[in-house]
Amino acid sequence: MALSWRSWLANEGSKHLFLFFWLSLNVWFFGKTFLLYYQGLQYYYLHQMLGLGLCVSRASASVLNLNCCLVLLPMCRVLLAFLRGSQRVASRKTRRLLDKSKTFHVTCGVTICIFSVLHVAAHLVNALNFSENYNEDFPAINAANYRGEDPRKLLFATVPGLTGVIMVLVLFLMCTASTYAIRVSNYDIFWYTHNLFFVFYILLMLHVSGGVLKYQTNLEEHPPGCFNPNKTLRQNMTMPKAFEELFPDYTTECFPQDLPVPEPFVQNNLMRICSEEPKFQSHFPETWLWISGPLCLYCVERLYRYIRSNKPVTITSVISHPSNVLEVRMVKDDFKARPGQYVILHCPRVSTLESHPFTLTMCPTDTKATFGVHLKVVGDWTERFRDLLLLHSNQDAEILPIFQQRRYPNDDWKCYKLRRLYFVWVCRDVESFRWFADLLCMLHNKLWQENRPDYINIQLYLSQTDGIQKIIGEKYQALNSRLLIGRPRWKLLFDEIAKCNRRKTIGVFCCGPNKISKILHKLSNSSNSYGTRFEYNKESFS
């Protein structure tokens, strides 16, 4: 399948551009901080003591600052939904970019993990160097108390060290519970461990308050590497190499490290004499500025969601469908929703802590306030919920589920001037089609009456068959004739749709397992000979 540049650009272009921008930002921060500590005069003595470990640890810290700030923003779903739905964000491209918020969150998370590893490794080396290269001349700059102090004490008995270690453990727990396999099989573990992020951020704020690394404040009075005639020259005295060449009589033995001589010093070619001892001061914790904004924003959003969810909902009816599916219809005051959005149901009697998302299958309209969801009984929460609704339905108001409404971005179909709708539905069991068989038939009849029979093209596929001819039901003739056995052949389907809609833009909306999604994504990017463009959209909860 040849790649179509127009389709690829439409589907992937803005995503990749954004990613490139984010990557450049990271590289820039890393490089800028690295060079600052490598060349900066105020870090001269510190660099001499710690070497490359200082530069790597600080550079990775600045990347971590950026990503810890950015990682929370895609999770402010109420805010994103507001942006997405408002008139200000009119472009479809921006809306589709906002849809990728979860992917961006994962990207930032992975970056945090990788750079944490780098940061920790560099600081371990720093701990060793603080211990071995204890600076007797300028004791203020040291983190160790004496030469040769056990580096493990620096790691575990200082505030930055201890908070750092605990943060790594929290990150380890969060990371191992966030893999795809765990999310798909035991979502609870992922959800509960991920809420440890709050502990992580609190520890982060304590971590940077330690003030271990210091910079020199009096560069004018004491240019680094200057000559102090009052002090006797000891082995670890700082003497740049250029100095040795100029004044061989005054130099001692080896200079521990071949450091780059500060530029202004060499250029002036003067023997600068120190007028006073260097003074050192800790940095202001820059991280507080980075993370306080997003953290507050996210906390406010969680609070808002919690407050809004406290109004209970009334269940008006519960219908049992074949293949273990339950339809629940509810009413709630002041509830508005658009097709494609989902709600999160929370029922304290079933489980105090769990809440689950379900796409709305019926939205409230101006005339009717009822809305509904279909839920399939798969795990323990849905089982208990079904038992509660069906078996104990004579019990009273305690059952009312408290519910949160979220605006999920996939109501994008409004942006497309809908001329035709192709509805492709793949099920394993023929009974499953009954969930919406009535609705589909009714819709088909209505459009037939309005003389628009080709507005909806329904194609139903039965993916697993045991060879016997199946029908959905005698009264669903419109659907029986559109039932095909076997999996859909997507390439042929795409070709046919492209041929019937030449030079148009077609929105592809996929809700299903990853395998189908990958195939459809690839097909949406590939070229066809009719000039049709496919824009790919996906919805997934895991």
Asked if residue 473 binds other proteins (CB under 8 A), the reply is yes
The one among 118, 159, 162, 173 contacting other proteins by CB under 8 A: 173
DSSP string, 328-356: EEEE-TT----TT-EEEEE-TTT-SS--E
Nearer to other proteins, 307 or 468 (CB): 468
Q: How many CA atoms, within 13 angstroms, populate the side-chain half-sphere of residue 4? A: 19
Taking CB under 8 A as the rule, does residue 81 contact other proteins?
Answer: no
Specify the long-range contacts of residues 134-143, CB closer than 8 Å, at least 24 apart: 135/45, 135/49, 135/236, 136/234, 136/236, 137/231, 137/234, 137/236, 137/237, 137/238, 138/45, 138/277, 138/278, 138/280, 140/214, 140/279, 140/280, 141/45, 141/46, 141/49, 141/214, 141/280, 142/49, 143/212
Scanning 49-57, 282-290, 471-479, 527-535 for contacts with other proteins by CB under 8 A, the matching segment is: 471-479
Q: Is the dihedral of CA 126, 255, 135, 141 positive or negative?
A: negative
Q: What is the torsional sign of CA 194, 199, 201, 203? A: negative
* Residue of 148, 229, 248, 467 that binds other proteins (CB under 8 A): 467
Instruction: Please state the separation of Cα 217 from the chain's center in Å.
Output: 39
For residue 169, the minimal CB distance to other proteins (Å) is: 6
Shortest CB 124 distance to other proteins, Å:
6
Q: Taking CB under 8 A as the rule, does residue 390 contact other proteins? A: no
Amino acid letter for position 321: H
- Whichever of 137 and 188 has its CB closer to other proteins, that residue is 188
Out of 56, 63, 75, 120, the residue judged to bind other proteins by CB under 8 A: 120
What mask of x and - would describe binding to other proteins in positions 426 to 455, judged by CB under 8 A? Answer: --------x--xxx--xx-xx---------
Q: In the stretch 187-226, what mask flags binding to other proteins with x, by CB under 8 A? A: -xx-------------------------------------
Closest residue by Cα to residue 233 from 244, 242, 218: 244
Q: Does 477 bind other proteins (CB under 8 A)?
A: no
How far is residue 132's CA from residue 50's CA, in Å, rounded to a whole number? Answer: 10
Q: Is 356 in the site for other proteins (CB under 8 A)?
A: no
Tell me if 507 contacts other proteins by CB under 8 A.
no
In the bound complex, what is the minimum distance in angstroms from residue 186's beta carbon to other proteins? Answer: 5
Cα(296)–Cα(292) distance, rounded to whole angstroms? 6
Helices (H), 222-276: 241-246, 263-268
Residues 282-321 touching other proteins, rule: CB under 8 A, are 317, 319, 321
At closest approach, how far in Å is the CB of 54 from other proteins? 18
Q: Is 322 in the site for other proteins (CB under 8 A)?
A: yes
Binding site for other proteins (CB under 8 A): 120-121, 124, 127-128, 151-152, 155, 168-169, 172-173, 175-177, 179-182, 184-186, 188-189, 317, 319, 321-322, 329, 351, 353-354, 365, 379-380, 434, 437-439, 442-443, 445-446, 467-469, 471, 473-474
